[in-house]
Amino acid sequence: MKKTVTTLADGRELIYYDARDDAVRDAVDMRPLDPVSSSSEIRYDALLGDSVVIASHRQGRIYHPPADACPLCPSRDGLRSEIPASDYEVAVFENRFPSLAGDSGRCEVVCFTSDHEASFADLTPAQARLVLDAWTDRTAELAERPGVEQVYCFENRGAEIGVTLGHPHGQIYAFPYTTPRTALMRRQAAEHRTRTGRNLFDDVVERERTDAVRVVLESEHWIAFVPYAAHWPYEVHLYPTRRVPDLRVLDESARTEFPQIYLELLRRFDRLFGPGEPPTPYIAAWHQAPFTGEDREEFGMHLELFTVRRASGKLKYLAGTESGMGAFMNDVPPEAAAERLREVAGK
């Protein structure tokens, strides 16, 4: 992998990741951009014990531009985008409208491919591996930045999720604090260790492997299953079979095998609701351990993939119980979801 670091016209960092060592990335951003101005503020919620980011400047971000004005496509005649090059493999840049900035963290955009009409599921295994390498490199670099507590790599896909740019891309957030969901997992893991003397993540994986009914895919280095208490209609958790706290520690065997199993999961998601259905909206979220704490090695890094579509033409809305009380209700039994995900293999 070749990594080329450059800057955009307003001083934001842009990084190209290429599989070829001879790739030349010397295109200059010629746009007349003003410096980025963000008003990000983190406020502590005393009732819940978590934090909320207030970022009013994001109201002005680009919203559903036409395909010929996409800011994530390569630059060309008539289009000066966030990517000055006329083509690219994987590109990462600082978000112009970040939720987190400066002392409050950092937000980056990850463009998976230059092809506007593609999706992650359309990538070749080599392309998917390059994205994995980019995620890993960004995790490693952001981990060294002062004040960064946790790195979160994720993809939002589909208008139903709230995506405003159709180009295949994801994001990376460098949080200055441990996110509430991760803090809850750490607490549960600590209580499990005290009660049983064992690791919670290992026990969860072993339970699913033993039950087998919710396992969707399993290979030598990865296992994918619908969790026993799935919150979402179709939800899959993907774990490396050797527990690691974050992407930096993933071994080469697991890295090599990841593209095949992950691409297959994404393609099955697109086949869930039958032919003629629009692409399945989803969120794909890497859960990595925070960088501090004696319990870091207890954490089991994993990817959670889920969709808000519960049936053809029907969405799972977070209504009164979920939004108001955080009490999830799932219409699709996890065992039925797993069976359906097994059924759509290779169709």
Contact 213, 226 (CB under 8 A): no
Among residues 101, 243, 223, the alpha carbon closest in space to that of 174 is found at: 101
13: helix, strand or coil: strand
Say how far apart CA 283 and CA 37 lie, in whole Å: 28
Among residues 287, 323, 283, 331, the alpha carbon closest in space to that of 306 is found at: 283
Say how far apart CA 269 and CA 232 lie, in whole Å: 13
> 30-34 long-range contacts, Cβ below 8 Å, gap at least 24?
30/80, 30/84, 31/80, 33/8, 33/9, 34/10
Q: Where are the beta strands (DSSP E) in 118-263?
A: 150-157, 169-175, 215-218, 222-225, 234-240
Say how far apart CA 244 and CA 247 lie, in whole Å: 8
69: helix, strand or coil: helix
> 325-328 long-range contacts, Cβ below 8 Å, gap at least 24?
328/231
Enumerate the active-site residues: 169
Among residues 30, 159, 175, 31, the alpha carbon closest in space to that of 98 is found at: 175
Residues 6+ apart with CB under 8 A from 345: 264, 268
Instruction: Report the b/e string of 21-59 with b at 16+ CB within 10 A.
Output: eeeebebebeeeeeebebebebeeeeeeeeeebebebbe
